[in-house]
Chain A
């Protein structure tokens, strides 16, 4: 037979207060071993109290309080392991390249889309001289008409944020968007890839037609290969998300989305340091005439080759130990 609710609360409250105090301490710093043992004991007691409250006092404030207290303690006790340096190293050494190779189909499709855009943009501008007015941003057109590269005095006339608009220099935004827009049924990455391809192709063809091919090459060569690769990989990750939405296979859509999303984000997170590195190249080496064009082309090609060599070769030896994502799906489905 249940005791009256106030008696129950009065009797058990010291333990709950102690547990709350411990949780506050745990959040602000580290607990000693003895305190952790206490935390464990108190959590189990609180869980037992919650079970009692659920049976005898459902819907009361005491029940809600215990619910919340147990949830906080549960969160504190069952924390995911902290991402340590070793696991980061492991991720780049094996997990990221292996994931990329496993999802090579999507990256291939993504690359195809970008190339399609490039060809379209270049064709339109080459075949139809007026086409440039449609595809190339006006600021760039003005510069090209004057026979100058728009990158020569990037910051002399325009504030920095206006520079990024129109040219695909804002690689970070493009990369993030190519991935994240995959949740729009995969239409987003397709649009992003083709759109950027068309833009680059059109600008390149326009420069070529105006006899400024070397200038264009000079600007794009050093960072182009790696940067386009990263955009392609991010687009592939976005396509993975879209595919999980359209064709979830045997899982419910929500679960397929989560399982695939976790894989896809690995590709984006893996690209992040390379994106940072290539951003430095784009900021310091590409603009201006500090380096001759042949050096930039050589640097760009070798960086691109190294990047892909890493992606295709790293962690090959134990590629047989492919991680299976079944436990993940099971873990999230054990509640339904």
Chain B
């Protein structure tokens, strides 16, 4: 990883002898995922309430008649929404509750392997403590203090939440536009090949160029040309910098240059 990125990571050593490093999900992702899950559960309760009121006209009377059953049902319902939902979802959907799936985060063990029943059981039992005194205050404080944004339940279970980014590979495999004539890119093939960092920079610029302001586009393009096309003669450089299209065609050819 680049030293300029101090974002926390989980480092994994796989049996294939390749080191993975997974980006950890921070407090924002976790809060949003919890909000999604909490609203789902809330709607479940509301729906249940409406179903009961539809089926039974005199709700309070029915509750009185079935006091034992009601108590049991309430306890079961509480248990289901407080613990069962989270644990079963994490165990059966590979560490993702619906809310986590929406936010593209996942619970894994600290060594990166998938979460098992006991870990999930522990981390979700600890919700009771993390929630204290209101709205996960304890959990949020430990997340802010911990280097990997874990709440108490994660610390006890040995789990971490990792993030999955949506990465687009199209910028690497994009074909150059057809109107770029091969003659308009002078000297691109006789230059030294670029290193990966420059390629990444150029490709990132090319992916974003169409959305930039014209003068910014021109200025950035010129700077990149100076960076990757150091051995251009003056009139070649002027020709490359004539228009944004020419600049970008030159850059594209440079980035794709074979040896």
Contact = CB atoms under 8 A, between A and B. Distances in A.
A64 B5 CA distance: 13
A183 B172 contact: no
Nearest to A64: B167
Nearest to B92: A82
B94 A80 contact: no
B156 A183 contact: yes
A287 interface: yes
B114 A57 contact: no
Given A188-B129, A258-B156, A57 B172 contact: no
Nearest to B82: A176
A5 B172 contact: yes
B220 interface: no
B196 A57 contact: yes
Interface in B77-135: 78-79, 82-83, 91, 93-95, 106, 108-119, 121-122, 125-129
* Secondary structure of the A contact surface, majority rule: helix
B167 A68 contact: yes
A79 B92 CA distance: 11
B71 interface: yes
A80 B113 contact: yes
Nearest to B67: A155
Contact of A75 (B13, B64, B113): B113
Given A5-B200, A56-B196, A155-B67, A280 B172 contact: no
User: Residue among B75, B111, B197 with the most chain A CB within 10 A?
Assistant: B75
A261 interface: yes
Contacts of A293: none
Nearest to A169: B71
Given A71-B22, A79-B114, A258-B156, A58 B68 contact: no
Contact of B67 (A13, A51, A154): A154
A156 B64 contact: yes
A279 B72 contact: yes
Contact of B121 (A48, A64, A269, A280): A269
A107 B40 CA distance: 38
Interface string A253-283: 0110110011001101100000010011011
A171 B72 CA distance: 11
B259 A1 contact: yes
Nearest to B157: A261
B14 interface: yes
A75 B158 contact: no
A172 interface: yes
A180 interface: yes
Contacts of B128: 173, 176-177, 180-181
B236 interface: no
Nearest to B119: A262
Given A258-B156, A283-B68, A155 B169 contact: no
B111 A58 contact: no
Contacts of A67: 20-22
A289 interface: no
Nearest to A284: B68
Nearest to B172: A9
B96 to A, nearest CB: 9
A283 B99 CA distance: 34
A6 B156 contact: no
B200 A59 contact: yes
Given A60-B200, A67-B22, A80-B113, 14 more contacts: A4-B256, A50-B20, A62-B172, A64-B165, A70-B20, A74-B12, A74-B112, A75-B113, A83-B91, A173-B128, A177-B128, A180-B153, A257-B155, A283-B71
6 contacts: A9-B173, A10-B172, A74-B20, A241-B156, A265-B118, A276-B76
Return the 4 tightest CB-CB contacts between A and B, nearest first: A258-B158, A283-B68, A57-B196, A9-B172
